Amino acid sequence: MAAHRSGPSAFTIASILGLSRPEQRSNMSIPYRPWADVPSTQNCHTVTADGSLEVAAEEEKSAITAPVESCRRTLNWYIGRRPRTAFSSLQIEILESVFQVNSYPGIDLREELAQKLHLDEDRIQIWFQNRRAKLKRSHRESQFLMVKKVISGLQGRDQQ
Amino acid sequence: MAAHRSGPSAFTIASILGLSRPEQRSNMSIPYRPWADVPSTQNCHTVTADGSLEVAAEEEKSAITAPVESCRRTLNWYIGRRPRTAFSSLQIEILESVFQVNSYPGIDLREELAQKLHLDEDRIQIWFQNRRAKLKRSHRESQFLMVKKVISGLQGRDQQ
DNA sequence: TTTTAATATAATGGA
DNA sequence: TCCATTATATTAAT
């Protein structure tokens, strides 16, 4: 509480509200939301970077929801949570095919994917994290079912 | 409250608990849950009718989760809601392709689909209902966006 | 890893 | 049948 850092303009309105430029922010307590760099209401119908055009097309769906996404993004900026990115089916397909070969892609491969799929590298990283978790979960589940099957098999034999 | 119907055995324990056979049930107030006809614990690992075998294969996924589904089904029976059926991707694909041609299939077509896809006819019916709702929703949404676009266009011109 | 929460959609009930 | 609503499954984000 009482510990404040020395330096110029530590308590400006802008810094308190978290509105300073990234390079000016102190490195703690105020989360940096780079996805909220939507300058004004005018851009509320620009296309988001997510389902972008070159890879997928992904007809109607993204074309219709993209502006909504963008506005919701502005809203979520206030709430403080990154708006959930919706991957296109082609993006998923490619990510999946990479995952089959390598479920722990290094930074270089992630960057390459990011560029090719028009996604941030950290979106890719998170995706692989979640994908690995999913795989693990399904393994656990099938093991559980195996055990259960054995048990119910024993019960069946007893009842015969 | 005080009005009770005449007839034989109107107040047996079975009827009060809703355990009578379908043809014996009075036609009001107690919902009939035919999907809950799981006789005993033994059948807890039988394969459900849902993702069934001939149409799709739909490898690992349904093979792994089917037993879980079945048990959850037993659980949901107590809760009283039909367990959510997970359509296979092939089933969806076919339903979608039919929907494009005819979004109001008659009973005959529904029955045919039911047979081909190994689903109950009323699952098909519900699917088309929900699908139509989805379509309508997307229409509404795109209209809304069109209006919004016009409005923000006007604003932009004012600000120029 | 676990938890939270956003989204999609199957199921229900009422008109 | 449509509509509004609820429940649930998946999964991005923390």
**DSSP annotation string for A109-123:** HHHHHHHHHT--HHH
Q: B136's torsion region: left (phi>0), alpha (psi -120 to 50) or beta?
A: alpha
The residue whose CA lies nearest the C1' of nucleotide D12 is A84
d(CA A30, C1' C7) / Å: 28
**Per-residue pLDDT at A100:** 86
For residue range B112-124, list pLDDT tens digits in order. 999 999 999 999 9
Nearest to A145 among B67, B141, B149 (CB): B67
Residue B131, pLDDT above cutoff 90 = yes
Q: CA nearest A155 in B: which residue?
A: B42
**Per-residue pLDDT at B124:** 97
- Domains belonging to chain B, first-starting first, are 89-159 (1.10.10.60)
Interface check for A122 against chain B (CB to CB < 8 A): the answer is no
Calpha distance B86→B109 (Å, rounded):
21
- Cα angle at B49 between B45 and B55, to 5 degrees? 120
For residue range A1-29, list pLDDT tens digits in order. 333 333 333 344 333 333 344 444 555 55
**Per-residue pLDDT at B7:** 34
Query: Residue range A88-100: average pLDDT?
Result: 88
Residue A111, pLDDT above cutoff 80 = yes
B138 with A64: Cβ contact below 8 A = yes
Alpha carbon A34 to chain centroid, angstroms: 13
For residue range A121-153, list pLDDT tens digits in order. 988 999 998 888 888 888 877 777 777 677 777
Q: How far apart are the first and last CA of chain A?
A: 71
**Per-residue pLDDT at A159:** 54
CA atoms within 13 A on the CB side of B35: 24
Phi, psi of B52 (to 5 degrees): -75, 175
Residues with CB under 7 A from strand D: A 81-87, 123, 126-127, 129-131, 133-134; B 65, 72, 76, 79, 81, 83-84, 86, 104, 125, 128-129, 132-133, 136
Residue A53, pLDDT above cutoff 60 = no
* Single-letter code of the amino acid located at A80: G
pTM here is: 0.63
